[in-house]
Amino acid sequence: MNLAMMERADEYGIIGELGMLSYFPELVKGYRNAHRGKSGGYLNIARNWQYSNEELISGRNLADHGYKIYLLPNGPASKCPDMIINDKVGEMKHLSSIRRGTIRHHIRYAGREQMAQILYLYIQNNKQKTRVLEIMKEEMPGAPLEMLILNQRGIIKEYPKSYFQE
């Protein structure tokens, strides 16, 4: 749902029925552009918030691949999603482990706790990629996730939910 559609829903008095999306117009106030991507994407960040270098680098990389990103402010104990990506709720994780339990935890947390529609994972090698895709096949059917975006050292690949249901 884009901003114009949300404004129309607000005009008709049904925006409250849309859940998280009803907050979207308020979330993006007070943001500034941090990066214009090479393919039409952008990275916007909250004016009064400090982001990690990992978040900023990943946000710029996504913007360069055409994604429209709003990094959301949150704290270490926060149960808020990390970003709005192409008008959907997104969670961002940078994996350093290949342990099944760690990967499974990140996938479950993104889908069930954060209610993310898109999970972005930064991975470092093919072994992590293989492990993530195996676990996603097991976890995706019961998760609200619609898409996995893998970034393996700057190379981005999308995996829609249908990929895991084959």
The mean pLDDT value of the chain amounts to: 83
Residue 2 lies in a domain: no
Residue 28 lies in a domain: no
Number of domains the chain is built from = 1
pTM: 0.80
What is the DSSP secondary-structure string of 56-88? HHHHHHHHHTT-EEEEPP--TT----SEEETTE
In this prediction, residue 15 carries a pLDDT of 46
Strands (E), the chain: 31-36, 42-46, 68-71, 83-85, 88-94, 118-123, 147-152, 155-160
What CATH number does the domain containing 48 carry? 3.40.1350.120
In this prediction, residue 44 carries a pLDDT of 94
Per-residue pLDDT tens over the stretch 33-83: 999 998 999 999 988 788 999 999 999 999 999 999 999 887 665 667 889
In this prediction, residue 152 carries a pLDDT of 92
Share of the chain above pLDDT 70, in %: 79
Amino acid at 148: L
Residue range of the domain that includes 56? 33-165
How far apart (Å, rounded) are the C-alpha atoms in residues 83 and 74? 10
